[in-house]
């Protein structure tokens, strides 16, 4: 499930690509979805500032990553899929929810909430990385997730405050590394798998490997 195209106003592209590579390697068939809604705002990524005069659609922008093969999130059902995965990027906190603005008081997009609850109820695995675990913490009860560490540690974990927000949302936060040694947390009871990804300032291959561990565990939980 994508949230646009670009780290600061949509899906983190490297995370989405890594997920797709690992799913392909794992033999999975993939269908991409995104909500057909306006973005919260558009960011000029060369400046890191809002482009005030622009407006974009989340589904249309997500189609860039999907190479055009994408459908509206309203069409995603548990009957058609064995698992669902959410990449990170600020789009998860801006377009799939209002977490970027409202923190623990955020609202989650109605279709996103439906999908998370439906897959959870059906006992089908849910994978999330980077900032997107906040979606599960908000929507699901007593869920265990990780966004990495709970302290910034000199800038290595610049978004460490998110761990506290997850606790305020009612979730349990589990400290995990981004590296291959301890790269993903598996909540076996809820079948939710999470990994920190770009919550950590580290080399790209570490993020790629951590996402691979998340995908591998999601596929394992499908039992196929």
Q: Which residues pair with 128 in a beta bridge?
A: 86, 194
**Can you tell me the distance from the alpha carbon of 205 to that of 210, in angstroms, rounded to the nearest whole number?**
8
The whole-number pLDDT of residue 179 equals 73
**Can you tell me the distance from the alpha carbon of 35 to that of 37, in angstroms, rounded to the nearest whole number?**
6
pLDDT in tens, 172-181: 999 999 876 6
- Please say whether the beta carbons of 89 and 10 come within 8 A: yes
The whole-number pLDDT of residue 32 equals 98
Q: Which two tokens stand for residue 72?
A: 């509206």
Q: What is the pTM for the complete model shown? A: 0.97
Number of domains in the chain: 1
Host domain of residue 117? 13-222
- Asked if the structure places residue 6 within a domain, the reply is no
- Asked if the structure places residue 1 within a domain, the reply is no
- Asked if the structure places residue 127 within a domain, the reply is yes
**Can you tell me the distance from the alpha carbon of 75 to that of 95, in angstroms, rounded to the nearest whole number?**
18
- Asked if the structure places residue 76 within a domain, the reply is yes
- Please say whether the beta carbons of 15 and 194 come within 8 A: no
CATH number of domain containing 126 = 3.40.50.880
Q: Which residues are catalytic?
A: 130
Q: Would you give per-residue pLDDT tens digits along the chain (224 residues)?
A: 999 999 999 999 999 999 999 999 999 999 999 999 999 999 999 999 999 999 999 999 999 999 999 999 999 999 999 999 999 999 999 999 999 999 999 999 999 999 999 999 999 999 999 999 999 999 999 999 999 999 999 999 999 999 999 999 999 999 999 876 667 999 999 999 999 999 999 999 999 999 999 999 999 999 98
- Asked if the structure places residue 156 within a domain, the reply is yes
- Please say whether the beta carbons of 13 and 65 come within 8 A: yes
- Asked if the structure places residue 195 within a domain, the reply is yes
- Asked if the structure places residue 2 within a domain, the reply is no
């Amino acid at each position: 499930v994508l949230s646009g195209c670009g780290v600061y106003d949509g899906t983190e592209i490297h995370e989405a690509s890594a997920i797709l590579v690992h799913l392909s390697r794992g033999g999975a068939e993939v269908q991409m979805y995104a909500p057909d809604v306006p973005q919260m705002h558009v960011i000029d990524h060369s400046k890191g500032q809002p482009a005030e005069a622009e407006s974009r659609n989340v589904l249309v922008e997500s189609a860039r990553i999907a190479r055009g093969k994408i459908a509206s999130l309203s069409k995603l059902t548990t009957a058609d899929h064995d698992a669902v995965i959410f990449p990170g990027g600020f789009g998860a906190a801006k377009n799939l929810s209002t977490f970027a603005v409202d923190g623990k008081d955020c609202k989650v997009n109605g279709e996103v909430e439906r999908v998370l609850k439906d897959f959870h109820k059906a006992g089908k695995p849910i994978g999330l990385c980077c900032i997107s675990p906040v979606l599960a913490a908000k929507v699901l009860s007593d869920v265990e997730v990780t966004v990495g560490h709970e302290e910034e540690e000199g800038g290595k974990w610049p978004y460490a405050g998110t761990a506290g927000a997850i606790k305020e949302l009612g979730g349990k936060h589990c400290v995990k590394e981004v590296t291959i040694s301890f790269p993903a947390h598996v909540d076996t009871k809820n079948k939710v798998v999470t990994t920190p990804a770009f919550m950590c300032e580290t080399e790209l291959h570490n993020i790629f490997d951590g996402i691979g561990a998340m995908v591998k565990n999601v596929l394992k939980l499908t039992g196929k």
